[in-house]
Amino acid sequence: MRVLVLGAGGQLGRDLVPQLRAAGHEVLALARGELDIAEEGALAGLLRRSRFDRVVNCAAYTNVDRAETEPELAARCNARGAALVAAACAEFEVPLCHLSTDFVFGGDPPEDGRGWVESDPPSPLGVYATTKRQGELACLQTGGPLYLVRTSWLYGNTGPNFPLAILRRAVAGLPLRVVADQVGSPTWTLDLSRALTRLLELPPCGLVHLSGGGRTTWHRFAEEILRQAGMEAAVSPVSTAEWGAQAPRPRFSVLYSQRWEELGLTPLRPWEEALGEYLRSEPGVASVLNRPG
């Protein structure tokens, strides 16, 4: 297949592009500065000139707190940009894979304690979550062939991300205060990239949840990062209210994929196992810890 990856310079794009190429696909990888998805006609012009079998939109405005004071910028990328990408792909009948987020679920967790499934109604909180949901709706409303993939708590080799931030603070001897009342599923971008590569080889299947296996809190995630990295540092638990972030966060954003099961695909491995390989193998981690990569 010939695949166009938008937002290829971000955490996910940096892992996805090599995974697609390793699977034998031809990839055109475009970072934000090479194609502005919110520019009218930008993607449509490219699709008019070149043929692609899949388009993957990893481009997004992801600074959750800053979005509260920059709503226009967040909406420009997450809502308008997503709508233009979806419209262009539908016009040229190119299947689109659009990446979205667990943040669209801001309500109380399901009563049975399971994770959010694809059929659960979203309830976004804050500017970031709202604009991402607007982007989802724009993709769905075009009626074009679509993979709409929600994921959660992403981390990879490049920052900013949670594991690297924890390690940097621990190395510097800085205090670690971490929220203990938000529950979700950490997801390594390499694991997600492998799953996306497999998904893109199947016919478009609509909405799919894809996150690391299991669930945890940010506080326990931090403790596990330090434990597996062989570092000793105290991690103080705090509440969401005590942390006082500018933007609201979901208290429960565990994603469960009924669709992935229906497709007969292997779920992503437990988050603890993925974290271990990440800490052992990623150059970014080695750089923080000043050990050979």
Cis amide bond preceding 160, omega within 30: yes
Distance, CA of 201 to CA of 3 (rounded, Å): 11
Distance, CA of 148 to CA of 132 (rounded, Å): 12
Residues 6+ apart with CB under 8 A from 79: 131, 134, 135, 138
Fill in the DSSP letter of residue 113.
-
- Measured over the CA atoms of residue 239, residue 242, residue 243 and residue 248, the dihedral's sign is positive
Active site residue 128: yes
Distance, CA of 80 to CA of 232 (rounded, Å): 45
Contact between residue 94 and residue 42 where contact means Cβ atoms under 8 Å apart: no
Please pick, among 61, 128, 155, 256, the residue that the annotation labels catalytic.
128
Distance, CA of 238 to CA of 161 (rounded, Å): 19
Judging by beta carbons within 10 Å of its beta carbon (0-12, 13-18, 19+), is residue 68 exposed, middle or buried?
Answer: middle
Q: Which amino acid is at 194?
A: R
Distance, CA of 138 to CA of 129 (rounded, Å): 14
Fill in the DSSP letter of residue 68.
G
The β-bridge partners of 27 are: 3
| H helix runs in 66-184, sequence order | 71-75, 82-91, 126-142, 162-172
Residues with a known catalytic role: 128
